[in-house]
Amino acid sequence: MTEMWVNMGPQHPMTHGLWSLRVKINGEIITDAEPMIGYLHRGWEKMMENRDYHQIVPLADRLCYASSLSWSHLYCKTVEDLLELEVPERAQWIRTLTLEIQRIASHLMWLAAIGTDLGSYTMFLLPMREREMFLDLMTDLSGSRMTTNYPRIGGVRNDLPPNWERDTLRVLNLFEKRLREFEALFDECSAFLMRTKGVGKLSGPEAINLGMTGPFMRGCNVDFDLRRDDPYEKYSEVDFRVCTHPDCDSYARYRVRIDEMYESCNIIRQCFQKMKQGPVRVKSPKAVPAGRAFAHVEDPRGEGLMYLISDGSDKPYRLKVRSPIFVIVSGMPAALIGEKVADIPAIMGMADMCLGETDR
Amino acid sequence: MVETTLFSLLHGLALWIGEVAQWLIKVTGIKEIQFIGDWAVTGGPVNFLTILLVCAIFMVAALLVGITCIWQERKVLGRIMDRRGTQVGMLGLFQNFADAIKTLLKELIIPRDADKKLFMWSVTGLIGSSVLLLGLVPWSTRFFVANPELTLLIGLAVFSLAPFFIMIGGWASNNKYSMIGAMRGAAQLIAYEIPILMVVLSIIIMTGSLNFNVIVAFQQTHMWLMFPLFIGFITFFVCGIAESERVPFDLPEAEAELVEGWQTEYGSIQWGLIMMADYLRAYVVSALITVLFLGGWDGPTFLWPEVWYLIKVFFVFFIMIWVRSATVRIRTDQLLKIGWKRLLPLSVVNLGIAVVMKAMGWF
């Protein structure tokens, strides 16, 4: 049989968002792959050059609908770096724990997506149901479900609402039980193991070479996590494990994310134990001094980075975003070539695509 | 006492209709057409009319069971996935009818470059062969359409027509996804038919007949074949899921990689018919498992045998829904590997067990 190009996307059930993957197949074997993005381009970076620093915070939420808080946090952190602003301690604790809540919510969305990718609709609906609990927590905190708009330059918008700590701990207790259910649904399902084990192999050095970060890289058995290796906020004061898995395949990436959710619960509990009363926000000036700053954080998907150049006015001269998925997707052909067409969802799903931050 | 079958029940009605026709012709008083009235009450037309009535009643009943299967699937899946399955009407029973109307009202789109005749006819063939299957499985010794000696053989022959129509449909769509899906579908259905035939062969050896009535009568006098042929039962169940293209073997319509497989280009009522055919085939598989392994309409006499039959069919279908909700879709090569390297040897082992049991004279 001759080889042919098949388009997976942009209107294809496999794509989570607007992007396309062209694969060249020989029978069922993939011989070439070419990810194509650009269907969702909004000119986000250019747009930011016409807004003042405080107006950018809500727009930073829009970078990724699945983990909006971590992107607005990253933006605030970049500006704070330039301002050399000291964030109050309580605000740092709150940021740490809300980031972890956001991480769980984002990972649950990935779990739901991988469920539909692999044909298990149960696995789509159940994590979406649990995700709603965390979105409810975010709603209590900030007033909106998805684009939370909670961090501010110099702190966070408001202190924790009354009873929020109690609610969160209840949610965590329930969630850990449910997470074990999900593990039972997937880890004890031999069909799932058949689909993911030994699929999409990518060794650690290869992943590093391609610039991949985040759970995908840790699923390639690279022990690297910005939360531990370049700690920000209060991550240096909490105990947690960086989850890796030696298998370097799709199953390893699944395992890493599930373990990370357990670890996130752990971190949130520690934050509640260690945080103290105090102010949550300091005043920040409207214009920032001329100069350059960059900050990088461990987004649920990998290393998110923002590079800010300021000319001393109240608007950024340039704001560059480095999104983790852009790099991971660019490197995906290495994992795809040689696998079968039916494995594309199992491999691409593990990248946890979010096109908002990729295309910007 | 001769048991009242659906046929003998309706025979009286058909005879009465014939007599009415004869009387109507008589009251016209025209001598030249009197012979038509006399002919209408003879054996031929009355039998023909009876068969038509039997077919109509049986088809409506079987299609209603098919629709109930869809409803059952939505309800059970809803319960497992923690959501409401259907809500329209009492217990959501009217949801299917609402969906059918919605499907009917959609525009029928045929791709410009498709082979239009084959594109249309493959659906007709698929739904035709699936509906034909309905008439072959009896509900009891009194509720059936036809009872030829080789029903099982005819049933399996009709069942195995599907890959042909799938291949035609996928090829005629002129679409890469359809073509790949069709090839997968054909490979899957052909691979899984062989273990099914081997298992059926063991049943033929045990019961000595291809007739469903005899097979069930054998189980009533001895024991349900599920127990001696347990390996065959499991093999048949797995193959049945694959033959009706359900999760985890729904590869021909794997939406994540192939959009909708061979049915990508089908919309509107054609899609509705394909889906209906899928469920009818799932129902037929459940019915075959019931009749071949679970004693068919065998059960305590406080309920009608038809009710026992339906209970068992729905129970088997419930297990299929359960499997669907709990597993993920597997890959083509894995599917074929399971088919050829696991299920085929198992079915041969099952055949050996049946032969040994028969040769030792235990049955």
State residue B273's pLDDT score.
86
Q: What is the token pair recorded at B224?
A: 């349900």
What is the overall mean pLDDT for chain B?
85
A280 and A91 in contact (C-beta within 8 Å)? Answer: yes
**Which residues of chain B make contact with A6, given a CB cutoff of 8 A?**
176-177, 180
Instruction: Provide the sign of the torsion angle of the four alpha carbons B80, B85, B90, B95, taken in this order.
Output: negative
Q: Which residues pair with A309 in a beta bridge?
A: A292, A318
Tens of pLDDT, residues B127-172: 888 888 888 888 888 887 877 888 888 888 888 888 888 888 888 8
Q: What is the pLDDT of residue B146?
A: 77
Contacts of residue A48, defined as CB under 8 A and 6 or more positions apart, other chains included, come to A56, A59, A316, A319
- Distances in Å between the Cα of B328 and the Cα atoms of A29, A124, A183, A194 are 21, 11, 14, 10
Q: Which residues of B sit within 8 Å Cβ distance of A?
A: 77, 80-83, 176-177, 180, 247-248, 250-251, 254-259, 325-334
In angstroms, rounded to a whole number, what is the distance separating the alpha carbons of residues B16 and A204?
84
The answer, yes or no, to whether residue B38 has pLDDT greater than 80, is no
Answer whether A24 touches B (CB < 8 Å).
no
Average pLDDT for residues B38-66, to the nearest whole number?
A: 83
Q: Which amino acid is at A237?
A: E
Which 8-state DSSP code applies to residue A340? B
Q: Give the SS3 label for residue A306.
A: strand
Confidence of residue B253 (pLDDT cuts 50, 70, 90): low
Backbone angles phi, psi at B207, to 5 degrees: -95, -20
What's chain B's length in residues? 363
- Rounded to 5 degrees, φ, ψ at A35 are -75, 140
Measuring CA to CA, which residue among A335, A306, A331, A302 is closest to residue A318? Answer: A306
pTM of the model: 0.85
Give A190→chain B minimum CA distance, Å. 8
Q: For B312-351, what is the HEC assignment?
A: HHHHHHHHHHHHHHHCCCCCHHHHHHHHHHHHHHHHHHHH
Find all residues with CB under 8 Å of A75, minimum gap 6, and list them.
A56, A57, A60, A151, A306
Would you tell me how many other CB atoms lie within 10 Å of the CB of residue B39?
14
Angstrom distance (rounded) from CA B211 to CA B191: 25
Q: Spell out which residues of chain B touch residue A189, defining contact as CB-CB under 8 Å.
A: 326-328
CA B211/CA B153 separation, integer angstroms: 9
Structure tokens at B353: 């067990």
Closest CA to A85 of A322, A309, A288, A324: A288
- Whether A195 and B325 lie within 8 Å, measured CB to CB: no
| Per-residue pLDDT reduced to its tens digit, B85-131 | 788 878 888 888 888 888 889 888 888 888 888 888 888 888 888 88
Instruction: Give the pLDDT of residue B187.
Output: 85
- Tell me what pLDDT residue B1 has: 42
- Is residue B211 within 8 Å of B152, Cβ to Cβ? yes
In this complex, do B247 and A119 lie within 8 Å of one another by their Cβ atoms? yes
Do the chains contact at A342 and B257, CB–CB below 8 Å? Answer: yes
The answer to whether B232 and B350 have CB atoms below 8 angstroms apart is: yes
The alpha carbon of residue B250 is apart from the nearest alpha carbon of chain A, in Å, by 9
Which chain B residues are Cβ-neighbours of A342 within 8 angstroms? 251, 254, 257, 331-332
Beta-bridge mates of residue B187: none
Residue pair B85/B74 in contact (Cβ under 8 Å)? The answer is: yes
pLDDT tens track for A90-102: 888 988 989 899 9
Residue of B nearest to A124 (CA): B81
The pLDDT of B219-235, averaged and rounded, is 87
Q: A112 with A124: CB under 8 angstroms?
A: yes
Say if CB B182 and CB B169 are below 8 A apart: yes
Determine whether the interchain pair A345/B333 forms a contact, defined as Cβ–Cβ distance below 8 Å: no
Contact A13/B259, CB-based, under 8 Å?
yes
Are B139 and B306 spatial neighbours (Cβ–Cβ below 8 Å)?
A: yes
Extract the tokens encoding A211.
């610039």
The length of chain A is: 360
Phi, psi of A214 (to 5 degrees): 75, -160
The two three-digit tokens of residue B208, written as one number? 């000595």
Check: CB of residue B328 under 8 Å from CB of residue A195: yes
Q: How far is CA B272 from CA B103, B173, B276, B317, in A?
A: 6, 17, 6, 20
CA-CA-CA-CA torsion sign (B165, B166, B168, B172): positive
Per-residue tokens: A184: 């039972």
> Do the chains contact at B248 and A6, CB–CB below 8 Å?
no
Q: List CB contacts (< 8 A) between A123 and chain B.
A: 328
R_g of chain A, CA atoms, integer Å: 20
Q: What is the ipTM of this complex?
A: 0.80
Cβ partners under 8 Å of residue A255, min gap 6: A219, A243, A245, A247
- A47 in contact with B, Cβ within 8 Å: no
Q: Other CB atoms closer than 10 Å to residue B341's CB: what's the count?
A: 10
Sign of CA dihedral A84, A90, A91, A95: positive
Q: Which residues of B touch A120 (CB under 8 A)?
A: 247, 325-329
pLDDT of B315 reads 92
Beta bridge partners of A340: A29
pLDDT of B178 reads 85
Beta-strand pair A316-322/A291-299:
unpaired
Q: What element of type H or E holds A21?
A: strand A20-26
Residue with tokens 């347990």: B230
Which residues on chain B are in Cβ contact (under 8 Å) with A113?
none
Best CA proximity match to A257, nearest among A206, A302, A201, A226: A302
Q: Is A337 exposed, middle or buried (0-12, 13-18, 19+ CB in 10 A)?
A: middle
Residue A205, class by beta-carbon neighbours within 10 Å (0-12 exposed, 13-18 middle, 19+ buried)?
exposed
Which residue of A119, A195, A343 is in closest CB contact with B250?
A119
According to DSSP, the residues that pair with A296 across neighbouring strands are A305
Identify all chain B residues contacting A13, using CB atoms and an 8 Å cutoff.
255-256, 259
The Cβ of residue B133 has, within 10 Å, a number of other Cβ atoms equal to 25
Q: Over 80: is that where the pLDDT of B260 sits?
A: no
Closest CA to A134 of A91, A90, A175, A178: A175
Per-residue pLDDT of chain A in tens (360 residues, 90 and over written 9):
578 888 887 877 777 778 888 888 887 888 888 888 888 888 888 888 888 888 888 888 888 888 888 899 999 989 888 888 888 888 889 889 898 999 999 999 998 888 888 888 888 888 888 889 999 988 988 888 888 888 888 888 888 888 888 999 999 999 998 888 888 888 888 888 888 888 888 888 888 898 888 888 888 888 888 888 888 888 888 888 888 888 888 888 899 999 999 999 999 999 888 888 888 888 887 778 888 888 888 888 888 889 989 888 888 888 888 888 888 888 888 888 888 888 888 888 888 888 888 888
Tell me if A23 sits within 8 A of B266, measured CB to CB: no
CA-based diameter of chain A, in Å?
70
